[in-house]
Amino acid sequence: MHSVLEQQRRALEAMDRLENLGASLLMDTPRAYKERLTQQHRVSGLAKKTTETAQSLLTSLDDPNGLRKAELEKMSGANQFTDFYARLKDIKDYHRRFPDEPIEPMELEFMNAEQLPVDDTLLDSLFSGEELFGRFVDLHALHELYVNLKDLPRHSYLAYLDHFADLAEIPIEAKNAQYKEYLIALTTYLHGFITRAQPMFDLDTFYQYAQATFDDAWETRSVPGWTTVDAHLGSPDLYCRACQKQFVKGHVYSRHLNEKRHKKAAALLASRPAGDADAEDTVRLAKRKELELQYRDVAWRESLVRQYKDHLTPVLAATKENIERKQTLTESELLDELDYEDAPEEVDDDESDDEDKIYNPLKLPLGWDGKPIPYWLYKLHGLGVEYSCEICGNYVYMGRKAFERHFQEWRHAHGMKCLGIPNSKQFQEITKIEDAQTLWAKVQASQTKGGFRPEADEEFEDSEGNVLTRKTYEDLMRQGLL
């Protein structure tokens, strides 16, 4: 059995090999859509395995059982050599007893990306025929659930694709338990579709952002369709003490008072000793809180549906276009299309050969043909020289030509605008923020010095036709000499 330190070392090595394997996979650029999706699923699986290994390693480093600490003490204590030779003896004895046991190096476990087994049926089991490997969504079952809900507008399937996230228009009274089940099914499908069709998409970050946005909107009662939720939580006057039930509408509460169940509960309550008013208020507030949590859960799922729809806008547009196109096809054309979809995607061998990995150990820039430029051309243009610009956020430009061109590009112009300085030719070659501000101060000072001064440059004419400066004219006027 491996020691704790050896297990931790193997975990670190496994994470490094998984990262290299994922990078090796991403270096390939498959032309076929199905191949690209398969590649993304494989890389996503490697990333998930890396995360699990890292979490296991962090737990081991926390040393909850003290095994790591004990092993380190043995290795650094007074008997460290005795313990070392004892471990060595155990290893030799083990291999002496089992000389034919095969060795399983980690290189075999994390082989090259080209040697990884490929499951051709992986995508076939993930998607339905209508989804076509994630190109389109299949909301037919959810549309059927929707049209069976009460008090909701009816939509055709095409209209449903446009309006399934318009849930704010539905009145709160119609959002019952059946409606909540529909929302759960809808969010579950959309979440699963993104996981299957876009395996590299960071759903955790997306979910956290959606949750934070919803929490803020709920606290301020600005969630679409739920701005009047407080009015639907009911008032104390509409609370039935006997049945411990909160009502929202007065006529429903009045009808409830005439029911046999309520009268029986009221008689039972009257036969009991008078209860504590504070206890009754506590029960009523608890019921109100429970109802608010139910409303909040429904509102959260509605908000999540809107977020999912915004993310899947291109897929939904493609789905609608595909359905409209199929509606114009004849039966024979539909059958031909189904046969074409079932056929494997073919890639031209000549084109695929050009997309093999490019040998580029010097990290040279790629030319117009997608291949590294010659090294002499790289040296001629000085593309190995780095030019850093602090105004551009310390962005590094490779080569003098790119550096000179960047002064008129958007990044440098935006940086100058943030500093409040015009991006004119006077500031060419200026890359430091302090230098730009100093030069701008000098430019402003020179403009002020050479500008128009009313007291010296403004001229007046007296009654005799003499031209005087403004200051002289005002002095003579005060002295009464004009």
Sequence ranges of the domains in the chain: 4-120, 127-326, 375-449, 452-482
Residue pair 312/194 in contact by the 8 Å Cβ criterion: yes
User: What confidence tier does 343 reach under pLDDT thresholds 50, 70, 90?
Assistant: low
Query: Under 8 Å CB-to-CB from 22, ≥6 apart: which residues?
Result: 43, 46, 47, 50
Give the pLDDT confidence score for residue 388 in this predicted structure: 93
Phi, psi for 408 (deg, rounded to 5):
-105, 10
pLDDT average, residue stretch 445-449: 75
How many whole angstroms separate alpha carbon 166 and alpha carbon 332? 37
Residue 349 has pLDDT above 60, yes or no: no
Residue pair 470/454 in contact by the 8 Å Cβ criterion: yes
Residue 356 has pLDDT above 60, yes or no: no
Tokens of 426: 């006077």
How many whole angstroms separate alpha carbon 384 and alpha carbon 400? 10
User: What confidence tier does 381 reach under pLDDT thresholds 50, 70, 90?
Assistant: confident
CA 453 to chain centre: 58
Residue 132 has pLDDT above 50, yes or no: yes
Unique residue bearing structure tokens 């460290």: 80
